[in-house]
Structure 1
Amino acid sequence: MTRRRGIESQSRSEQRRVTEQYQLITTQPALLTFCQQAQHADFLAVDTEFVRTRTYYARLGLVQVQAGDATALIDPVSLQAEQSDAALAPLWQLFADPDKTLVIHAGGEDYEILQQHMGCLPNAIFDTQIACAMLGEGEAMGYAAMIEQRLGVMLDKSQSRTDWMQRPLAPAQLDYAAADVLYLQQVYPQLLAKAQEQGKLDLILAESAWQAEKRAQQIPDKWLFLYFGNAWQCTPEQRSVLRELVAWRQQRARQADLPLGFVAKDHVLLDIARHQPTSKGQLHRVKELSSVTVRYAGDELLAAIAAGIEAGPLQLKLRRINDIPGYKADFAKIKQMAQQVAKELDIPTALVASRRQINDVIHWCRQIPSHARSELPLPDLFASWRGAKLKAPVEALLKESQ
C-alpha cells in the first residue's frame, strides 16, 4: 500500500514539514514490481532497521530503499522472511547487481545482515560516513549530523529506540525510517562530486568495500582465544582450557541464537579457565554463570574444560599489548609511517591508522602464530589500500625490531 506521511524536519533558520510519498511493501507482487522498477535507478540508497538485543543473529525488521524517485519500506515481517529465504530474493538480487552502487551511511551491522541474507556482499558500496571523513567533513559523523550540515535539515530522532519487529509500525516510525534513505539520496551526488573533484573516489570505494568485507569475515572458533582480551593473564595450562571455552561459547551462542554474554561473559570464562570445575555442582558455584546455561549446556561446558586439560599446556606467549618488548618504539614508528601516507593521500592520519589498528598489527606480527595467520582475517594495515602502502614497511620494521 502507498501512504503519504509527513517527515518532520527543521532547517537551521526555520521549521518546515517535508511530505514524501513512500510505499510500504508487504506482499511478494509489490516487492517484485518495485525491484523491477528499481533496476533503472542509477544508484540505490539503502538502510536497514533490525533488533539484536536478545539474539546472536540480527533480526531484520525493515529495509528502506530509495531508487530514483521511488521510496520503498520493505517489511520482512509481513513477508515472513524469517520463515523463507526466498521471501526477499528479488531484493537481494537487486542489491547484487554488479552495475548498482549501494549508498549506505555507516554500514556496520548492515553489512553483516546483507552477508547473512544475500550470501555475498554488494558489488559496489559508497559509505557516506567514510566519504565525509575522507573529504575532511568530520570523522565518524552520524547520519543526522551529516544531513543537518549538508542540507540544513534537523531530523526527528524520537523513534530511534523503536522495536522494529513489532507490528503494526506507527506512522511516525515509518516516517523516521523513510527519512534515512530520502535524504541519503540527496547527499550522495554532492559527496560523489566532491570525491571526484578531490581525486578520492577510488579511495572511498576501497575503504567502503573493506569495511563491508571485514564484517563478513569469520574468525575460526579455534583461534578466537587469540583475540580474548585477558588471555595474557592465564598460565599455559589455563590458556589451553580458555581456548576450548571461548570456542564452546561461540558455538553455543550460534546454536541457541543467543548473545555471547547471555551464554557466559568474558570474566566468567576466565574464572572457569582458572578453577577448571569438573561437575555441574561446581559449575553452579561459579559466580555469574547462568543457571540456565548450566542446566542446558553444562555437559558441553564440562567437556570443553576436559578437552582443554587433556590437550596439555598451550605454550604460546601472549602479553598485554603494552608489555610486548619494543612496543612503544614500534608504535611510534608505525604512526610516523601512517602520517606520511595520510599526507600523501590528503586525509586525516586517524583514517590511515588508529591506535587500535596499530595495536592490532603489532599483535598480529608478534603474538599470532605463523601457522594460524592463513586462517585469520588480515589486520587493517595489511589489507586493501592500507596494505598497499604499509604492509611491506611495517613487516620489515617489526621483523627487524624483533
Structure 2
Amino acid sequence: MAVYFHEEDLPEGVLADGPLAVDTETMGLITHRDRLCLVQISDGGGDEHLVRFAKGSAYDAPNLKAVLADPARVKIYHYARFDLAAIQYYLGVVAAPVFCTKIASKLVRTYTDRHGLKMIVSELLGADISKQQQSSDWGAPELNEAQRDYAASDVRFLHRLREVLIERLEREGRMELAQAAYEFLPTRAQLDMAGWADKDIFSHE
C-alpha cells in the first residue's frame, strides 16, 4: 500500500478499471468561496492518489477529469453531495455515477444516528481511522505527512464499505431506493450551488 502525491493532475494510466473511491478537501464548506485543494482517488487495489491544486490553479487536469467523468466507472463517496458540488464547480465535470456510503448507512443502519465515516468503518470493517487532521489548512503551500495520511484514509476503505453496504441494502430491500437517491445527487449538488443548499424544495412551506 502506498500514497502517491501529484500536483495539478493525475498521471495517465495509474488506475485500474472499475469503481473509484473519491474524496475532496477544500478550504471550507461553502463551495463557491472555499476553493478545492485536493482530490483523493483510489481504485481499491491498495494505493491512494492525492492530486493537489495550488492557489490560483486553472484546474486544468485532463487525466483526472476524464476518469471522474467516465460514465462506466462508479464513483464511491462518503457524503457525495458535497464532493460532487466541489468537483463540478472547480473541475467542470459531473463525477457520476455515484455510490454514497453515508446515504447507504442512513438507509440500513437505522438503529443509530451516527453515520460519520470513522464510525461506519469501525463498526462494519473493524478498522480505525483518525479524524485529527479534518479541520487543517488544506491550502497550505506544503501538506505534511499527517495531512496526506488523513486524506488517503478517506478513500482507503470505501470499496470495502460499498461491498458490505450493498449486502445490507439488498437484505433490507432498499437497493432500488438507494440507487434512485444516488441518481438524484448530481441534481442535489446543482441545487446547492444555485442557492438552495438550506431549502427543501419538496417541503410544503
Q: Report TM bin, short chain.
A: 0.7 to 0.9
Kept after mapping to 2: 8 A contact 1:96/1:122: yes
What per-residue deviation string (whole Å, max 9, x for no partner) do you get for residues 2-40 of structure 1?
A: xxxxxxxxxxxxxxxxxx411111265xx232xx332x3
Aligned to 1:92: 65
Residues 130 and 140, structure 1, Cα contact 8 Å, conserved in 2? no
Structure 2 distance, partners of 1:55, 1:139, is 26
Q: Distance in 1 between matches of 2:113 and 2:102?
A: 8
Structure 2 residue 7 is the aligned partner of structure 1 residue 26: yes
Percent identity reads 24
Q: Is the 8 A contact 1:41 1:68 kept in 2?
A: no
The whole-number CA distance in structure 2 between the counterparts of 1:55 and 1:123 is 18
Q: 1:51 corresponds to which residue?
A: 27
Q: Distance in 2 between matches of 1:195 and 1:161?
A: 32
For 2:147 and 2:89, how far apart are their aligned partners in 1? Answer: 25
**C-alpha distance in 2 between matches for 1:24 and 1:120:** 22
**1:57-206 aligned within 5 A:** 57-69=33-45, 70-77=47-54, 82-86=56-60, 88-137=61-110, 138-139=112-113, 141-206=115-180
Note if contact 2:166-2:175 (Cα within 8 Å) is conserved in structure 1. Answer: yes
Q: Secondary structure at the match of 1:217?
A: helix
Q: State the partner residue of 1:361.
A: 203
Cα deviation for residue 179 of structure 1 reads 0.6
Moved over 6 A (4+): none
Residues 55 and 49 of structure 1, relative CA distance in 2, 3 Å threshold: closer
Q: Is the 8 A contact 2:8 2:53 kept in 1?
A: no
1:121–1:212 contact (8 Å) kept in structure 2: yes
- Helix, strand or coil: the match of 1:49? strand
Q: Distance in 2 between matches of 1:196 and 1:54?
A: 35
What letter is aligned with 1:44?
L
Any unmatched runs of 5+ in structure 1? 1-19, 230-355, 364-402
Q: 1:136 to 1:91 in 2, by over 3 A?
A: same
Instruction: Compute the displacement of 1:205 (Å).
Output: 2.1
CA deviations over 1:259-290 (Å, ceiling 9, x no partner)? xxxxxxxxxxxxxxxxxxxxxxxxxxxxxxxx
Rg (Cα) greater in structure: 1
| CA-to-aligned-CA distance 1:325-354 (integer Å, 9 cap, x gap) | xxxxxxxxxxxxxxxxxxxxxxxxxxxxxx
Q: Is the 8 A contact 1:50 1:60 kept in 2?
A: yes
Greater RCO (CA < 8 Å, at least 6 residues apart): 2
SS in 2 for 1:100: coil
Q: How far, CA to CA, are the matches of 1:219 and 1:65 in structure 2?
A: 23
TM, length-normalised to structure 2? 0.85
> What does the per-residue CA deviation read over 1:97-147, in whole Å, with 9 as the maximum and x for residues that have no partner?
111111001123212112213434233111101001111354461111111
Tell me if the contact between 2:27 and 2:34 (Cα under 8 Å) persists in the aligned partners.
yes
Give the Cα separation in 1 of the matches to 2:190 and 2:31.
18
Amino acid in structure 2 at the alignment position of 1:32: P
Shift of 1:71: 1.1
Would the aligned equivalents of 2:40 and 2:152 in 1 still touch at CA under 8 Å? yes
Call closer, same or farther: CA 1:198–1:60 in 2, change over 3 Å.
Answer: same
Contact 1:58–1:113, Cα closer than 8 Å, also in 2: no
Pick one of 166, 177, 189 that aligns with 1:215. Answer: 189
Matches within 5 A, 1:228-247: none
Q: Which runs of 5+ in 2 are unaligned?
A: none
| Alignment: residue pair count | 202
TM-score scaled by length of structure 1: 0.46
Give CA deviations for 1:300-331 in whole Å, capped at 9, x if unaligned: xxxxxxxxxxxxxxxxxxxxxxxxxxxxxxxx
Q: What is the Cα-based RMSD across aligned positions, in Å?
A: 2.8
Q: Distance in 2 between matches of 1:159 and 1:173?
A: 6
Aligned mates of 1:125, 1:199 — CA distance in 2: 19
Change over 3 Å in CA distance of 1:168–1:60 after alignment to 2? same
Task: Look up the SS of the partner of 1:193 in the other structure.
Answer: helix
Query: What letter corresponds to residue 7 of structure 2 in structure 1?
Result: T
Query: For residues 150-206 of structure 1, what are the alpha-carbon distances to aligned partners after superposition, in whole Å with 9 as ceiling and x for unaligned?
Result: 122232222112100002111111111111110222211111232234332232122
